[in-house]
A = this chain, B = another copy of it.
């Protein structure tokens, strides 16, 4: 099956929301897609017509298996392109999302297969998010929020759950990226901020909000 750019964007949006909540509702998707609820309803009819969606009027909706496969396909393309932009074209990680948002809609199975090989079949994108393989299979890793890590334990940054350009820009200033080694030294009870050591550099302090959105795994 082949989808329009708009359909692909909606499919991806629904997939993202249903990961957390199961059923998705119209207003939430409208917010996610930066559009109006009425536009969402229009698209839901099309996606149901194309048998990608379980949907009953007023009752919420979610992707069926065909829909999930379609979503994973778009996610795969998006993350491979992001990897390309950062690893090959040397973009900063906070600049690649809007470009990948367009590149993900180029439809050529051979293009993506060749791109995947050219990049060395990467498992994670520049933000630490897993890249589905061509069958939609996603690699999983055990990870924890930095805010739950005990003091003095060495950990490696594995992903970032808030991926706004603002957040990524902030982490860039802290020199925190995927793969960076960290140690939590101290927690300040006043506002929950953490003193951490980044790689072999001086210690610095990050807010509780930042800590909650940085995910890490054990050093290997």
Contacts and interface: CB of A to CB of B under 8 A. Distances in A.
A6 interface: no
Contact of A89 (B90, B91, B102, B115): B115
A149 interface: no
A106 B111 contact: no
The 5 closest A-B pairs by CB, nearest first: A89-B114, A102-B106, A99-B108, A89-B118, A99-B111
Interface in A65-106: 85, 88-91, 95, 98-99, 102-103, 106
Nearest to A106: B102
Contacts of A107: 102
18 contacts: A85-B111, A88-B118, A89-B111, A89-B114, A89-B115, A89-B118, A90-B114, A91-B110, A91-B114, A95-B110, A98-B108, A99-B106, A99-B108, A99-B111, A102-B106, A102-B107, A103-B103, A103-B106
Nearest to A102: B106
Nearest to A88: B118
A84 to B, nearest CB: 10
A115 B91 CA distance: 11
Contacts of A118: 88-89
Given A99-B111, A102-B106, 9 more contacts: A89-B111, A89-B114, A89-B115, A89-B118, A91-B110, A99-B106, A102-B107, A103-B103, A103-B106
Interface in A125-184: none
A111 B103 CA distance: 11
Nearest to A91: B114
A110 B110 CA distance: 26
Nearest to A95: B110
A168 B107 CA distance: 23
Contacts of A102: 106-107
A4 to B, nearest CB: 12
Contacts of A95: 110
A115 B99 CA distance: 13
Nearest to A103: B106
A118 B86 CA distance: 12
